[in-house]
Amino acid sequence: MKERLEAMKAEALGRLAEASDPGRLNELRVHYLGKKGQLTEILRGMGSLPPEERPEIGRIANEVRAAIEAVIAEKQARFEREETAARLEAETIDVTLPGRAPRIGAVHPLMKVQQEIEDIFLGMGYAIAEGPEVETDFFNFEALNIPKNHPARDMQDTFYITDEILLRTHTSPVQIRAMRAAGGRTPLKIICPGKVFRRDDDDATHSFMFHQVEGLVVGPNIRMSDMLGTLLQFARAMFGPQVTIRQRPSFFPFVEPGAEVDVSCAQCGGEGCRMCKGTGWLEILGCGMVHPRVLEHGGYDPKEVTGFAFGMGIERIALLKYGIDDIRLFYGGDVRFLRQFAKM
């Protein structure tokens, strides 16, 4: 029996030495040490041994088991080390590989122009105010001195939600809201950027929704020359130091006097070109001295303060600034168009 045990040990160690994967290792363990394995098989003969020999055989059997287990454990550990090493090798990151650059979006050209306008006026001490896109008839029209029969109220121009509630047709209602919020304090200097809505048929120069920036200054002794100086400053910051402006009389119910301001064509320097349709001038905004009735609606006493206001379309400024000829490009979401502004 002793010989059988020694022979089994030798055979087992020999086969284990040749085992080259964990699966084989396990097979051999089961074969020699398992419940129905060789060792058990041999020890079953213990009963027929004289009792005095049994401890000796038991000791040898334990040694054999321990020797085989030791080899299995050692090889098992080696296989695991090798596997880890192989995995580390296979999964290494090549840090020298050029990266895959993520596609980065860009600020929409309209928002870029809006931010630029904001920056220019913030630099002149203005604050930014906002108002709701869904307005009441009162703020959008009535308080702005636009009487009930004014053509601007026509169903053709305005999206009405009810008789009293509508989508604002311009950013001018924010003038009233800002004046009321100021509670009579002066000077009030604000700009209000935002979306406005008109019942227009969309084409290259019209859209049912577009963006405006409103400006409002209220204080003692605010004069028309303050307004023109401010707008000249703005035009030069926006279109270049070489441009100039001119004003033409115009009518808006909420200002008196009212004007429209043109900027000299930056493209041709006023010579006349396709961009300015040969006139040398480009219309950029409406403006005027705040009407006394509007000041009153805002909670100011027109005998004590005066003010000026202006309103411009952001799309129009962007068209002129970038030489774009179709407003619909701004809303189409075509990345080939939009990407061109990423680096501007």
Residues that bind ligand PHE (CB under 6 A): 170, 172, 214, 252, 255, 258, 286-288, 309-311
Which H helix or E strand runs over 177?
Answer: helix 173-182
- Residue placing its CB nearer to ligand PHE in the complex, 280 or 311: 311
Q: What are phi and psi for residue 209, nearest 5 degrees?
A: -135, 135
- What is the rounded (10 degree) CA torsion for 149, 154, 158, 161? 80
Nearest partner of 29 among 76, 63, 97, judged by Cα: 76
Residue 158 CB, shortest distance to ligand PHE, in Å, is 12
Nearest residue to ligand PHE, by Cβ distance, number only: 311
E strand or H helix at 213: strand 209-219
Sheet containing 255-264: order of strands: 127-128, 188-197, 209-219, 306-313, 281-290, 255-264, 245-250
CB of 285 to ligand PHE, least distance (A): 7
Q: How far is the CB of 310 from ligand PHE (least distance, A)?
A: 5
Minimum CB distance to ligand PHE smaller for 184 or for 257: 257
Q: How far is the CB of 336 from ligand PHE (least distance, A)?
A: 32
Kindly tell me which of 25 and 289 has the beta carbon lying closer to ligand PHE: 289
Q: What is the DSSP letter of 21?
A: S
Q: Which amino acid type is present at position 221?
A: N
Minimum CB–partner distance for residue 164 and ligand PHE (Å): 20
Cβ proximity to ligand PHE: between 255 and 305 the closer is 255
- Residue in 312, 257, 250 with CA at minimum distance from that of residue 288: 257
Q: What's the min distance (Å) between Cβ of 299 and ligand PHE?
A: 18
